[in-house]
Amino acid sequence: MSVYLHEEDLPAGVLGDGPVAIDTETMGLITPRDRLCLVQISDGGGDEHLVRFAPGSNYAAPNLRGILADPARLKLFHFGRFDIAALHHYLGVLTAPVYCTKIASRLVRTYTDRHGLKELVRDLIGQEISKQQQSSDWGGLVLSEAQKDYAASDVRYLHRLRTELDIRLAREGRTALAQACFDFLPHRALLDLAGWPEVDIFAHA
């Protein structure tokens, strides 16, 4: 298992076929203001790849964009709503098809209100991950080893989580409902970017 850091794009041919796990690190939580600094990606084979973007980047990244836009490749996220919006805003790609482990968790782990990645990995896989670097400066010239390991851990377990969550979704008869949510997720991200981040447009009032 290795973590690879790349600048401005993912090298061609480093990922196998099939679903990929994706996460992002930004300078903050307001997408148009807080630039995209890092994209993490893994094919589930044991290695994680980190793509770093410098201040002033044009986010060309043709190889990464190709993967994000590939309709035949499923993209796995945890709280994909944020990442999909960031990827669309900066790379100009509306990522699909997608799977979100947080949505799946909310649909089947109704016995808890703890749906963070740390809790999900502990509950379903029995591993502990550190979130200590979550609020660190991702725009610095050098990423520390702790930052790189934290970023990699955000995609390291998503394939295994999907497998476990799919079993529970099927058991509870909620697979189709989950898929409908996943299909809508890119559109929810577009609503966020268009000015409806905190508004439930389906609500009566």
Q: What is the pLDDT of residues 25-41, one digit of tens each?
A: 999 999 999 999 999 99
> In sequence order, which ranges of 125-174 are alpha helices (DSSP H)?
145-156, 158-171
Which residues are CB-contacts of 15 (< 8 A; sequence separation ≥ 6)?
Answer: 41, 43, 49, 67
Query: Domain containing 113: what range?
Result: 3-135+157-194
Q: Does 202 map to a domain?
A: no
Total number of domains constituting the chain: 1
pLDDT > 70: what percent of the chain?
A: 98
| 80, 98 Cβ separation under 8 angstroms | yes
| 35, 80 Cβ separation under 8 angstroms | no
Q: Is 55 exposed, middle or buried (0-12, 13-18, 19+ CB in 10 A)?
A: exposed
pLDDT at 192 over 90: yes
Q: Does 152 map to a domain?
A: no
pLDDT at 76 over 90: yes
Q: Is the dihedral of CA 15, 20, 24, 30 positive or negative?
A: positive
As a whole number, mean pLDDT of residues 145-153 equals: 94
pLDDT at 14 over 90: yes
Q: Does 170 map to a domain?
A: yes
Please give the pLDDT value at position 133: 62
CATH of the domain at 43: 3.30.420.10
Residue type, 98: V
As a whole number, mean pLDDT of residues 132-157 equals: 90
| 128, 122 Cβ separation under 8 angstroms | yes
Across the chain, what does the average pLDDT equal? 96
As a whole number, mean pLDDT of residues 164-193 equals: 98
Q: Whole-angstrom Cα distance, residue 161 to residue 129?
A: 14
pLDDT at 197 over 70: yes
pLDDT at 23 over 90: yes
Q: Give the chain's largest Cα–Cα span.
A: 50
Which tokens in the block code for residue 177? Answer: 């409902």
